[in-house]
Structure 1
């Protein structure tokens, strides 16, 4: 695959400044090497972007690439090989929507990461945390009330693992870091897709959360936490957690703590939109479906408050099973609350900062990865261009990985 590319006559988005700039962009060896006027071709693939709009490749900071069903308890019953083929399909479709990088928020492992990096698997560049850490009866405990036995060995594609007590949490965090995790995910509160917990519960003691944070920090990594309520969010942030997933029921104190600790909030309102409409069709139980309303309305209000407060907002979709086709719709969901440029920043520069890859991802600059989406319509004026994946080109590391408008988003 040719990773040398010259994009001529580009109107490319300076995301930080919120405006388009003009020029040619040269990519060599997968990275941007030159930006200027009338650059000369030297054997590269050439794309004429005249009258088009060039954006950095998109980043989704909350996906589950192994979750080919909304019935997460069933994942542990699947053959790992069957799960892997489903993962390959899901990741290829993500790339077609313009997401050249994703962060898996529980489930993916080094095997999927390595397969993508080596070109064995077509999909976005992958940042992974391995299995999420959960207390017994927490959000990643898949057992119904009548089952006591639990087996989540490395052979089984559960999204989480159970760890109770400071020593067990410390060991589990070290084990995921040993296997190459880019971050540690903990379940710090109840969730929608789990069978026995309540959304308003807090999970893990402060000392357990602090143990995970200490281990991640020692490895120059970070902890992100699943949490909905202000009570769950605030205790996690005080304990040193760097990112919060969801946050739909945050409170005013949460906003102050996000600012104080320069933490990141990855909301994913599209998943509740999809769960409400399609969740039961794709395996969500009636009991879990009834939890959706409790977080959907609060999410819109929370997003508005967080944006107004200037919180670091990263793009996330968190869709499960067949609902993953709606991944890009989060753009128009957020556009009801936020200006288009800020929604785009959530999927580019802010996402890159969360991934600790500022200057490498989410930007068009010399030294950055040669990841782009090219459209015929201006996303700053109409975000449905991205939400409906009306993309002329998707480019990853200088290689054209898709040409032509998508029709299945």
Structure 2
């Protein structure tokens, strides 16, 4: 059943930021029309009785294969075991209203194809394959006493190590060969990596430029993990399209985002969750101690970026058992952003980042019929989106869950 008619709805298209009263009809998994008094034409009808209808949500920074916060243990796990966990994780994401997700390293074409073919219920999956990391970078999960890196060809790890311009070109081309929607690069240190500093800058300018060139040649783009202003600014200057995290950005960063028409994907909820319960979900003690370096700065960075007019996209970056907090990001962002801007970050602005404007994140005819029916007004209370129990219906491709 991909044909459906919603009656008596309050339709909220994020781009316009205004409500219209009426009906919405879908067929063939797409939105066909909106208006008043639409004919049912023998399709199923749901009378939502004044419920608010918004586009399905988009989370642009997830790790669906991260079944634990101990990322270093993933390469030792069976790929089939990781895939089973991923199916469960994606199903739960759909139940939280996320009908499209962008994986920021770990997922591959197998999971994306299986979801698209209907082998399991989950959000549409935009994947990058494995993130590119220098030796000793954020994507290098080896401890100091480990020499060899097991680059298993399947999906059980998040990163792949490549050093030097020729090697990073080959790695980028390989991920693109496997169908990557974007490339992910580790441009600074991070919390979950065992041997680097958060304030380190990773990859040379020549290596980063080569990765960007390969992505642009394939009509794709690069997303960069980066925390400090030094790492963020260099990545933007070299043509990176989206900065992941950006907790320690500065005023010059804001200028560069605007100059290069780039996007910021903050992930506030993961630091909150890692601090609260990261260790019980596998985060090593040494990584847990790093959390404080970025925890308090994230909200200030978001406020600075929002005030400066940066395009901001929704991301969660949760790991293992902490995935259940995915919607809490709405509450955290509402501390410094207007509810409408937070909603746009998870719909229309996210769609622009991933190159799917008009396809997702909108109620316009022709878009995928990915819809949420809410019991409340998200422009008055963004907490409606943070509480899936207040979703009257979740519809993907015209099919209610």
Same fold (TM over 0.5): yes
Structure 1 residue 100 and structure 2 residue 99: aligned? yes
Shift of 1:346: 0.2
- Write the distance in 2 (CA, Å) between the matches of 1:267 and 1:152: 29
Partner residue of 2:18? Answer: 19
Cα 1:167–1:282, aligned 2, differ >3 Å: closer, same or farther?
Answer: same
Instruction: Work out whether residues 59 and 98 of structure 2, in 8 Å CA contact, stay in contact via their aligned partners in 1.
Output: yes
Shift of 1:156: 5.4
Instruction: Work out whether residues 134 and 203 of structure 2, in 8 Å CA contact, stay in contact via their aligned partners in 1.
Output: yes
- Write the distance in 2 (CA, Å) between the matches of 1:40 and 1:21: 18
50-59 vs 380-389, greater mean Cα deviation: 380-389
Partner residue of 2:151? Answer: 152
Instruction: Work out whether residues 78 and 156 of structure 1, in 8 Å CA contact, stay in contact via their aligned partners in 2.
Output: no
- Write the distance in 1 (CA, Å) between the matches of 2:232 and 2:72: 25
Matches within 5 A, 1:255-270: 255-270=254-269
- Write the distance in 2 (CA, Å) between the matches of 1:148 and 1:11: 59
- Write the distance in 2 (CA, Å) between the matches of 1:135 and 1:44: 54
Structure 1 residue 49 and structure 2 residue 48: aligned? yes
Matches within 5 A, 1:364-383: 364-383=363-382
Matches within 5 A, 1:330-345: 330-345=329-344
372-381 vs 57-66, greater mean Cα deviation: 372-381
- Write the distance in 2 (CA, Å) between the matches of 1:75 and 1:388: 30
- Write the distance in 2 (CA, Å) between the matches of 1:124 and 1:46: 24
Residues 62-118 of structure 1 show CA distances to partners (whole Å, capped at 9, x for unaligned) of 000000100000000100010011001000000000000000000000000000000
Partner residue of 1:400? Answer: 400
SS at match of 2:305: helix
SS at match of 2:234: helix
SS at match of 1:60: strand
SS at match of 2:385: helix
Structure 1 residue 240 and structure 2 residue 239: aligned? yes
Instruction: Work out whether residues 79 and 156 of structure 1, in 8 Å CA contact, stay in contact via their aligned partners in 2.
Output: no
Partner residue of 1:134? Answer: 133
Shift of 1:22: 1.3
- Write the distance in 2 (CA, Å) between the matches of 1:130 and 1:118: 19
Structure 1 residue 252 and structure 2 residue 251: aligned? yes
- Write the distance in 1 (CA, Å) between the matches of 2:298 and 2:167: 33
How high is the TM-score relative to the length of structure 1?
A: 0.97
Structure 1: state its 5+ residue gaps.
402-409
- Write the distance in 2 (CA, Å) between the matches of 1:33 and 1:278: 45
- Write the distance in 2 (CA, Å) between the matches of 1:45 and 1:287: 55
SS at match of 2:292: helix
Partner residue of 1:282? Answer: 281
Partner residue of 1:307? Answer: 306
Residues 365-386 of structure 1 show CA distances to partners (whole Å, capped at 9, x for unaligned) of 1111101110111111112211
Instruction: Work out whether residues 105 and 184 of structure 2, in 8 Å CA contact, stay in contact via their aligned partners in 1.
Output: yes
Shift of 1:17: 2.1
Instruction: Work out whether residues 23 and 35 of structure 2, in 8 Å CA contact, stay in contact via their aligned partners in 1.
Output: yes
Partner residue of 2:348? Answer: 349
- Cα-Cα RMSD: 0.7
Runs of 4+ in 1 over 4 A off after TM superposition: none
- Write the distance in 2 (CA, Å) between the matches of 1:358 and 1:371: 14
Partner residue of 2:90? Answer: 91
Structure 2: state its 5+ residue gaps.
none
Instruction: Work out whether residues 183 and 216 of structure 1, in 8 Å CA contact, stay in contact via their aligned partners in 2.
Output: yes
Partner residue of 2:204? Answer: 205
Residues 254-296 of structure 1 show CA distances to partners (whole Å, capped at 9, x for unaligned) of 1100000010000010000000000000000111001111101
Shift of 1:127: 0.4
SS at match of 1:224: strand
Partner residue of 2:113? Answer: 114
Shift of 1:176: 0.3
Shift of 1:155: 3.3
Residues 15-50 of structure 1 show CA distances to partners (whole Å, capped at 9, x for unaligned) of 112121112111110011111111111232211122
